[in-house]
Structures are given as structure tokens and as C-alpha cells.
Amino acid sequence: MPFESRYLTCAGYEIHCTDWAPQGSPAGTVIAWHGLARTGRDMDELAQHLSAQGWRVICPDTIGRGLSQWAARPQDEYCLAFYARIARELLERLDIAQCHWVGTSMGGAIGMVGASGYFEPELHKRIRSLVLNDNAPQLAQPAIERIKAYAGNPPAFATVAELEAFFRAAYKPYGWLSDAQWRRLTETSTRRLPDGRVTPHYDPAMAGQFTHHPDDYLIWHHYDALQIPVLLLRGAESDLVLRETAEAMKTRGPGARGQLQHIEVPGCGHAPALNVPEQLDAVSDFLARASAKAAVAA
């Protein structure tokens, strides 16, 4: 297998992650964190690409997603502050002192609040660079309403083939995926209900984050506090990260300090799948430069 599957206790919960190249990682370690209703297996192509270049890549399933345990107190624990706590304990369990962070959507927000130091000062010390894959410190409200509508009421189907058709339609903004990639996306994010039907592999209660923590993704103060290199990959057709928000990021925080790189990803909305050479190379090139800067600073 190209990775090891691990189960770690973080914040009192069993958290699953895939660990790519755990035996040797001369380039360093990357945490690759998925989006709101997804799983760590979305990062397979990125992890394979980076591990071939000498990186160790850790791809967690957030609490309530994939193979990780579901929250016992959804209203309190499905929020960025708790996710950051899980991230901090995950790095401690794996003895990761320094890392670079790649996050899609929610995964980017977790990295942002972690690296800012407001919630978890230890994460601030450990995260050396940040890739925001179609994530920003302010998200478009109409897109949030769209996400709430489907994430809080996941459909169920009689067959996996029907669920795959749903995923292909719902995630069309990801851009191009091969048939094999669509099949793997489906098979790694499917759970069977007691009545035998299949549905996406997450706890529907996680969408309550938008109700119980309505300003959880309004995090300009976290962004402004970042002191590390940041790469913003914005889907050119994204309805979640607006162009004016991306432009505002250039004048604040890392942008004002010359530490922000912004790339528009053509043919994608929310969010680029990080599965084609142009996207993979953009991430790996950024990480190589960020790693070199961190080494000089040390």
C-alpha cells in the first residue's frame, strides 16, 4: 500500500488519518486537510505527488467524517476551535514538531486558525506555511447557504452507482477527474444506512456549525495575524471565495507583508481537486520555496 492507515486518540476521540511515506521524509511533513463534507482520501493524488518528492504527508479525517469518530456534543465540537485542538493533538501524537499545511475549504480554515495562534499556540509554532485551496477569511453567504442546504440533508440512494452520479453532479466544480478518481471518491465517502441505502460518509450534524457558530468562518483577525508564507489557490469560478475577497487578502496580513501568492485555477469552482499536474506542481513548488525560507530563518 502507498500509505499506512492510522487511528489516534485526539481530544478524546478516535481520529483516522492516512500516513504517506512515514518511514522517510527528507523534505519534511505536510498536513493535507480536506473540506467540509469530505474525507482525507480526497488528498490521495496530492499525497502521492508530494511523497514521491520526499515529503511525509498526513491526511486526517475530521471528527464526524470518514473513518473518524462522530462528536458526542455536536453543537460544541463541530467548530473550528475544536478542530484546531484535534489538529494540535494529532501533531503531538505523531511527534511532528514542524509542518506545512495544505487545506481545502474547511481544511484551510483549520490551518488558518491554527497558524494564527489564537486557539492553539502550539500550532502557531509548528505550522511553517499554509496553502488555502479555495478558502479565505471571509466566505460568500449565498454559497454558505448552498452548502448548508445539501450538507445538512445528505441524500440516500439504493445503489453506489446512484451515489456516484450524485457526487459527479454535486462536485462538478472540482474540475476534471478521471472515471477512476470519481469511483474512488465515491467508494471512500460512502456509508450504508440501517435500511440498506447508501449515503455520504459524514455526520449530518456537522452542518450545524453554520447555525451554532454563525461567524466561525469570518476569520480576518486570524488571517491578519499570520506570519508565514501563504498560497491562495482560488477556483476561477468559485462562488465561495469571491474575487474581491482575494483582492482584499493582498492588502492585509501576509498580503501586506509580501508573503501571499495568489493563483487563479481555471476550469474550477469550489474547490480545485488538487489532482492534475498544474495544481500539484503549484503546491509542491510553493512548499519547496517555503521550506527553503524556513530553513534559512532557522
Distance of CA 297 to the CA centre of its chain: 27
Q: Which grid cell is 62?
A: 475530521
For residue range 59-70, what is the model confidence (pLDDT) as tens digits? 999 999 999 999
> What cell numbers appear for 189 in the block?
465517502
Percent of residues, the chain, with pLDDT higher than 90: 92
Rounded Cα–Cα distance for residues 96 and 126 (Å): 8
Give the number of C-alpha atoms closer than 13 A to the C-alpha of residue 35, restricted to the C-beta side: 21
User: Mean of the pLDDT values across residues 106-124?
Assistant: 97
pLDDT band at 23 (very low <50, low <70, confident <90, very high): confident
Per-residue pLDDT, averaged over 79-90, amounts to 98
Return the DSSP state at 69. Answer: P
Retrieve residue 247's grid coordinates.
483582492
Q: Tell me the pTM.
A: 0.97
Give the mean pLDDT of the chain: 96
Q: Which class for 207: exposed (0-12), middle (13-18), buried (19 or more C-beta within 10 A)?
A: buried
User: Residue 82 pLDDT > 90, yes or no?
Assistant: yes
Q: Which residues contact 79 (CB under 8 A, 6 or more apart)?
A: 209, 212, 213, 216
Which top CATH class is 3-141+214-297? alpha beta
Q: What is the pLDDT of residues 198-254, one digit of tens each?
A: 999 999 999 999 999 999 999 999 999 999 999 999 999 999 999 999 999 999 999
Residue 99's pLDDT band, with cuts at 50, 70 and 90, is very high
Question: What pLDDT score does 298 carry?
Answer: 63
- Structure confidence at residue 25 (pLDDT): 72
Q: Which of 219, 240, 210 is nearest to 78 (CA)?
A: 210
Cα distances from 59 to residues 13, 50, 136, 256, 272, in angstroms, run 17, 12, 21, 31, 17
For 131-170, how does the pLDDT look when each residue is reduced to its tens digit (9 = 90+)? 999 999 999 999 999 888 888 899 999 999 999 999 999 9
Please write the tens of the pLDDT for every residue from 260-272.
999 999 999 999 9
What pLDDT, on the 0 to 100 scale, is given for residue 115? 98
- The pair phi, psi for residue 60, each rounded to 5°, is -80, 155
**Would strands 13-20 and 3-10 be described as parallel, antiparallel, or unpaired?**
antiparallel
Please provide the size of the chain in residues: 298
Task: Count other Cβ atoms within 10 Å, centred on residue 278.
Answer: 11
Distance CA 277, CA 61 (A): 24
Q: Does the pLDDT of residue 118 top 80, yes or no?
A: yes
pLDDT attached to residue 202: 98
CB 131 within 8 A of CB 103: yes
Provide the 8-state DSSP code for 61.
P
Sort residue 33 into left (φ over 0), alpha (ψ -120 to 50) or beta.
beta
Confidence bin at 47 (pLDDT 50/70/90): very high
Is the distance from CB of 215 to CB of 115 less than 8 angstroms?
A: no
Report domain extents, the chain. 3-141+214-297
Number of H helices, E strands in the chain: 13, 10
Mean pLDDT of the region 62-89: 98
